[in-house]
Amino acid sequence: MKKQFKTVKSSRISISQLMLPSHSNFSGKIHGGYILSLMDQIAFACASKYSGNYCVTASVDTVDFLHPIEVGELVIMKACVNYVGRSSMVVGIRVESEHIQTGKSKHCNSSYFTMVAKDENGQNTEVPGLILTNGDEVRRFYNCIQQIEARKTRNRHELEFDYLSETALKNLENYNVKIEMKER
């Protein structure tokens, strides 16, 4: 069977939603958890549209909340597939909010969700290859490769850290921590 390829453009999706008082936290700003939920929904829709399969969230890369979102603002989320592996896809999401009366918009956050395509039996299934058509798409694909490698390095480091080592514990004294381990 011949390998199928699709363009990044074929994965693009956007949603808009008015932020209501029921979406706000105790300080009157839109709750970050609510925004994360919307981001997960758009990541699912984007990955499923691209792959043609049901998809699940495997991981979420850094989410930095750059600006608060106010009640009454319109939130616009844009997503596209930036990278594909065998069964996984990295979906880039950009979140903006727009003040309805002034039209002023602000970039609130961006994040990368790793989604995995599943077949009808719940098993990982192959996704189409990705056709890159411009410099931004190539840059995003390359950045995903770098993020994946950094995650692997970080995971290896976490496995290798010897918390019983005198040297490792001595190095931690440079931080705002007090170690009171009863047993070593």
- Domain membership of residue 96 (yes or no) is yes
Burial of 49 (0-12, 13-18, 19+ CB in 10 A): middle
- In this prediction the pTM is 0.86
Question: Which residue type occupies 112?
Answer: Y
Domain membership flag for residue 159: no
pLDDT of residue 81: 98
Residue 69 in any domain: the answer is yes
Q: How many domains would you assign to the chain?
A: 1
What does the block give as tokens for 158? 């976490």
pLDDT in tens, the chain (184 residues): 678 999 999 999 999 999 999 999 999 899 999 999 999 999 999 999 999 999 999 999 889 999 999 999 999 999 999 999 999 999 999 999 999 999 999 999 999 999 999 999 999 999 999 999 999 999 999 999 999 998 888 777 666 777 778 887 788 888 888 778 776 5
Domain that holds residue 106: 5-131
Question: What CATH number did the domain enclosing 10 receive?
Answer: 3.10.129.10
Does the residue 89 lie in any domain? yes
